[in-house]
Amino acid sequence: MESYSYKITGGKPLKGHVNISGSKNAVLGILAASMMVDGTCTLENVPDISDVHVMVKICESLGAKIETELAPEGSVTLHIDPRGIDTYKATDPGVSKIRASYYLLGALLGRCGKASLRMPGGCDFGQRPIDLHLKAFRLMGAKGADYRNINGGIITLNADPLRGAKIFLDIVSVGATINVMLAAAKAQGNTTIVNAAKEPHIVDVANFLNAMGARIKGAGTDTIKIQGVSTLPGNFTYSIIPDQIEAGTYMIAAAVTNGDVTVHNIIPTHMDPLSSKMREMGYTIDEGDDYVRVYRDPEEQIWGTNVKTAPYPGFPTDLQPQTVVLLCLSQGQSKMDEDVWENRYQYIPELIRMGANINIFDHVALVNGIDHFNCAQVKATDLRAGAALVCAALAADGTTYIDEARRIDRGYEKIVDKLKSLGADIEVASSVGFYVDTEA
Ligand code: UD1
């Protein structure tokens, strides 16, 4: 894939209004779910991002027909007809490019009673096991649901029949919760997920499945009950919820540039973990029905604080890197405690190259406030790391080049256009070629 950089000249306060796109993590789960429908469906408010393009290609490789229509407001509408699916094997090379391809295990098990999947990819935060998914499928009667059965990087499950079960997740896992909901929607009998994840996109996937004809209750709480059905008729239109993480990234970009930005088309309660921390630090956050406005009183000091990531409704790990940038530009010492992923600080050496003063002790980053970031040549080590570097570059003195910007485009629709419309000086530049890309 062609490599390119973002060239950002910082120091311009972001001002104005920005519309948030549909949720990346919701639509990826929903696309997998749509492979189970016995009719057709239409998805609106789909973000036009590269992870979605990859997932659409994988679904097409199974035999699904997907038509893409550009919506006037910039997002995409997908018309999906999976009735031509003639395989249970998701072995397209795209599967190993994204994490969410693992939802096809649950979806294909539900649809075909069998599933073969190339091992999924995604951002590198250390170990990203799928043992909880496999353990749950085993309890539901799937044979082969064991790491020892991963031959040549491909796992094959076979359930004859797929049965409902009580699934206790000993770690709160977004992916395992969604995967079990998918398989259980068409399993024989009832499934209960105990200690389920509660993220907004869990609720969105459950709502979508219910619109297809599934019977799921309790999504958004820690106990989800699913009554298996034999058909999922479909033939409906569904609109994806707004992206909580994209919204939070623009809130932070506004704050670190001392700007004044209204972030539209969001669900403000999804932003509570971030909004409350930002208020505590000294920013003003005004909330409306579907927007938040972020700005600061120039007389008000911005103070550091302590943040710990946790499953929803805790502070989202996917906003951790951007929030560290926010903490860098505050007074005093702050503490970031990354409690979801074992290794999500690969971007910190890049921030240090821009002048950050951060020390890492295991999963805790101690952040000492600085006056400003310097420009530098840096690299987006993963999607949200890249978003954090964009925030830092927007606030920095001079011109920063962020290499491997394609990683940012995995999850941010039209980020260059949106930031430009807020007054940022950002453009796509040919790759600085400063780093060797080691991503598989
Ligand atoms: C999803 C999101 C990702 C986000 C994460 C946590 C998608 C496509 N990705 O990832 O952006 O950072 O939720 O909000 O939606 N775990 C196990 N065994 C398993 C599964 C998970 O030990 O089988 C552990 C993980 O190592 C991690 C924790 O559980 O420490 C949470 O992971 P999980 O919620 O499953 O993350 P993902 O679904 O992969």
Verify whether ligand 1 is closer than 6 Å to residue 383 (CB atom).
Answer: no
Q: Is 233 in the same domain as 253?
A: no
Structure confidence at residue 440 as a pLDDT band (50, 70, 90): very low
Answer with the one of 205, 239, 273 that is the final residue of a domain: 239
The answer to the question of residue 45 being in a domain is yes
**Closest ligand 1 atom to 131 CA:** 23
Give the pLDDT score at 129.
Answer: 81
Q: Is 146 in the same domain as 74?
A: yes
Is the pTM value of this prediction over 0.85? yes
Q: What is the mean pLDDT of residues 223-236?
A: 96
Least confident piece of the model among 125-129, 303-307, 401-405: 125-129
Q: Is 167 in the same domain as 195?
A: yes
Q: Is 192 in the same domain as 106?
A: yes
Verify whether ligand 1 is closer than 6 Å to residue 175 (CB atom).
Answer: yes
Which pLDDT tens digit goes with each residue over 85-143?
999 999 998 898 898 999 999 999 999 999 999 887 766 655 678 899 999 999 999 99
Indicate whether 239 pLDDT > 70. Answer: yes
Structure confidence at residue 150 as a pLDDT band (50, 70, 90): confident
* Mean pLDDT taken over the chain: 94
Verify whether ligand 1 is closer than 6 Å to residue 128 (CB atom).
Answer: yes
Give the pLDDT score at 160.
Answer: 87
Q: What is the mean pLDDT of residues 282-293?
A: 98
Which pLDDT tens digit goes with each residue over 404-431?
999 999 999 999 999 999 999 999 998 7
Q: Is 261 in the same domain as 337?
A: yes
CB 377 within 8 A of CB 342: no
* Ligand 1 centre distance from Cα of residue 137 (Å): 17
The answer to the question of residue 439 being in a domain is no
Give the pLDDT score at 3.
Answer: 86
Answer with the one of 189, 219, 239 that is the final residue of a domain: 239
* Ligand 1 centre distance from Cα of residue 174 (Å): 6
**Closest ligand 1 atom to 341 CA:** 30
- The values of phi and psi at residue 419, to 5°, are -70, -40
Give the pLDDT score at 2.
Answer: 67
Q: Nearest CA to 162 among 146, 145, 184, 180?
A: 184
Q: Is 197 in the same domain as 264?
A: no
The residue whose CA has the least distance to atom 17 of ligand 1 is 129
The answer to the question of residue 225 being in a domain is yes
The residue whose CA has the least distance to atom 9 of ligand 1 is 25
CB 166 within 8 A of CB 190: no
Verify whether ligand 1 is closer than 6 Å to residue 320 (CB atom).
Answer: no
* Ligand 1 centre distance from Cα of residue 173 (Å): 5
Give the DSSP letter of residue 347: T
Q: Is 11 in the same domain as 99?
A: no
* Ligand 1 centre distance from Cα of residue 430 (Å): 33
**Closest ligand 1 atom to 135 CA:** 23
The answer to the question of residue 437 being in a domain is no
- Residue of higher predicted confidence among 154 and 196: 196
- The values of phi and psi at residue 348, to 5°, are -65, -40
Substitution candidate for ligand 1 out of 171, 243, 382 with most atoms within 8 A of CB: 171
Answer with the one of 220, 239, 258 that is the final residue of a domain: 239
The answer to the question of residue 435 being in a domain is no
Options 59, 123, 328, 375, the catalytic residue: 123
**Closest ligand 1 atom to 175 CA:** 38
The residue whose CA has the least distance to atom 31 of ligand 1 is 173
3-state secondary structure at position 199: coil
Cα 44 from chain centroid?
18
The answer to the question of residue 30 being in a domain is yes
Beta strands in 94-222, from DSSP E residues, in sequence order: 114-118, 142-143, 154-159, 166-168, 190-194, 215-217
The residue whose CA has the least distance to atom 22 of ligand 1 is 129
Rounded to 5°, the CA angle 55-28-175 comes to 120
Q: Is 205 in the same domain as 272?
A: no
Verify whether ligand 1 is closer than 6 Å to residue 132 (CB atom).
Answer: yes
Indicate whether 326 pLDDT > 70. Answer: yes
Indicate whether 432 pLDDT > 70. Answer: no
Substitution candidate for ligand 1 out of 30, 128, 195 with most atoms within 8 A of CB: 128
* Ligand 1 centre distance from Cα of residue 84 (Å): 31
Q: Is 149 in the same domain as 219?
A: yes
Least confident piece of the model among 106-120, 189-203, 241-255, 322-336: 106-120
- The values of phi and psi at residue 267, to 5°, are -110, 100
Give the CATH number for residue 174: 3.65.10.10
Q: Is 29 in the same domain as 152?
A: yes
* Ligand 1 centre distance from Cα of residue 229 (Å): 27
Q: How far apart are CA 330 and CA 328, in angstroms?
A: 6
Instruction: Give the helix ranges, DSSP H, for 197-308.
Output: 200-212, 244-256, 272-281
Cα 273 from chain centroid?
16
Domain residues for 321?
Answer: 4-21+242-430
Indicate whether 438 pLDDT > 50. Answer: no
123 is catalytic: yes
* Ligand 1 centre distance from Cα of residue 172 (Å): 8
Which tokens is 300 given?
A: 């008000």
Structure confidence at residue 439 as a pLDDT band (50, 70, 90): very low
The answer to the question of residue 321 being in a domain is yes
Give the pLDDT score at 153.
Answer: 81
Q: Is 125 in the same domain as 258?
A: no
Q: Is 364 in the same domain as 349?
A: yes
> What's the total number of domains in the chain?
2
Helix (H) or strand (E) holding 379: strand 377-379
Percent of the chain with pLDDT over 70: 95
The answer to the question of residue 438 being in a domain is no
Structure confidence at residue 251 as a pLDDT band (50, 70, 90): very high
